[in-house]
Amino acid sequence: MSRPLILGSTSQYRRDLLGRLRLPFTCERPDVDETPQHGERPDALASRLALAKAVDVAARHPGTWVIGSDQVATIDGQPIGKPGNFERARAQLRMLAGQTVEFHSALAVTDG
């Protein structure tokens, strides 16, 4: 018998992406503080959070596989963060127009 698969995220984008594999899975919100640590590089932040999300959800679900992921967007090496609402998203897009934005993505898989 195979282990159940859980996506440690409530992101619709991540849910749709995993759904393309046509594997059965459920989603659960991880309880992880996403505050960057002092001096933490964006790529290290994404990796740490992806693993923390997978481990957090796996701890509540023994006998499962859990996928955790995170992404940090940067401009000139500085994280830009999530806008949080429509108006801030609009302002952020205006600020980023014509700029190069880098995305640091990480994925972690663990067993519960």
Distances (CA, A) of 20 to 5, 24, 97, 105, 107: 14, 11, 31, 19, 16
| Cα–Cα distance for residue pair 72/15, rounded to 1 Å | 18
Set 16, 31, 56, 70: catalytic member: 70
Residue 111 annotated as catalytic? no
Residue identified by tokens 């459920």 is: 26
List, by residue number, the catalytic residues: 70
